[in-house]
């Protein structure tokens, strides 16, 4: 992915130009073919290095007030491919709260080493899954088929219903879903020629 070098270069340059600092690496770490590890601090939350997927050996570090703020900031991005949580006691809880397709607890991308687990992201991090039962389902599609097995007592999908049939429909809906006062009052349908009775 030669074009990815320019993506990393742009993200690092944007972070540094907006007040961020490189404690490891930096702009000079991004070469023409290779990229050295880069650690960025004091990076604004709306910078490319935070908001977009860099897919390079870079990481942004930010001090937070508590884990609630950490989860909130992590979930603020449109992307959500993979994540990691390091905690002695709250790992599973925090992992469930993170909006990402995969989360590793006390390790880095260990989910990729388990072929039975689905691999994929959420949000703008793509769609679909590979690996596991969910990955196999990506090669299939759901199809619904219905068949009429008997003639319905009342055909609901026609405009040829009579006023008597409309009354029957209203009665059935009332019995199923509530009192008649809860149903909207429908305007009376005009009689067609030949319908109704004429007085002598």
Model pLDDT for residues 68-99, shown as the tens digit of each residue: 999 999 999 999 999 999 999 999 999 999 99
Q: Which conformational region is residue 162 in: left (phi greater than 0), alpha (psi within -120 to 50 degrees), or beta?
A: beta
Q: Which conformational region is residue 119 in: left (phi greater than 0), alpha (psi within -120 to 50 degrees), or beta?
A: beta
In angstroms, what CA-CA distances link 98 with 8, 95, 105, 117?
25, 5, 12, 17
Among 23, 58, 67, CA closest to 42:
23
154 pLDDT higher than 80: no
189 band by pLDDT with thresholds 50, 70 and 90: low
DSSP label of 187: P
Domain residue limits, the chain: 3-137
Domain 3-137 CATH assignment equals 3.40.91.10:
no
**Residue 123 to residue 131: CA distance in whole angstroms:** 19
Q: pTM above the 0.85 mark?
A: no
At 113-148, the pLDDT tens digits run 999 999 999 999 988 999 999 999 999 999 999 998
187 pLDDT higher than 70: no
**Residue 174 to residue 167: CA distance in whole angstroms:** 10
21 pLDDT higher than 90: yes
């Amino acid at each position: 992915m030669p074009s990815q070098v320019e993506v990393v270069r742009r993200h690092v340059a944007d972070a540094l130009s907006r007040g961020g600092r490189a404690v490891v690496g930096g702009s000079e770490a991004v070469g023409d073919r290779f990229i050295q590890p880069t650690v960025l601090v004091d990076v604004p939350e709306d910078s490319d290095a935070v908001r977009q997927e860099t897919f390079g050996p870079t990481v942004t570090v930010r001090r937070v007030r508590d884990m609630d703020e950490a989860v909130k900031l992590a979930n603020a991005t449109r992307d959500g491919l993979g994540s990691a949580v390091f905690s002695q006691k709250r790992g599973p809880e925090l992992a469930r709260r993170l909006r990402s397709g995969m989360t590793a607890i006390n390790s880095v991308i260990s989910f990729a080493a388990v072929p039975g687990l689905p691999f994929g992201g959420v949000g703008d991090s793509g769609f679909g899954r590979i690996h596991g039962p969910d990955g196999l389902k990506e090669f299939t599609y759901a199809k619904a088929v219905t068949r009429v097995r008997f003639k319905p007592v009342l055909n609901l999908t026609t405009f040829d219903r009579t006023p008597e049939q409309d009354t029957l429909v209203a009665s059935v809906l009332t019995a199923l879903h509530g009192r008649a006062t809860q149903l909207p009052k429908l305007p009376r349908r005009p009689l067609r020629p030949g319908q109704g009775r004429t007085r002598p």
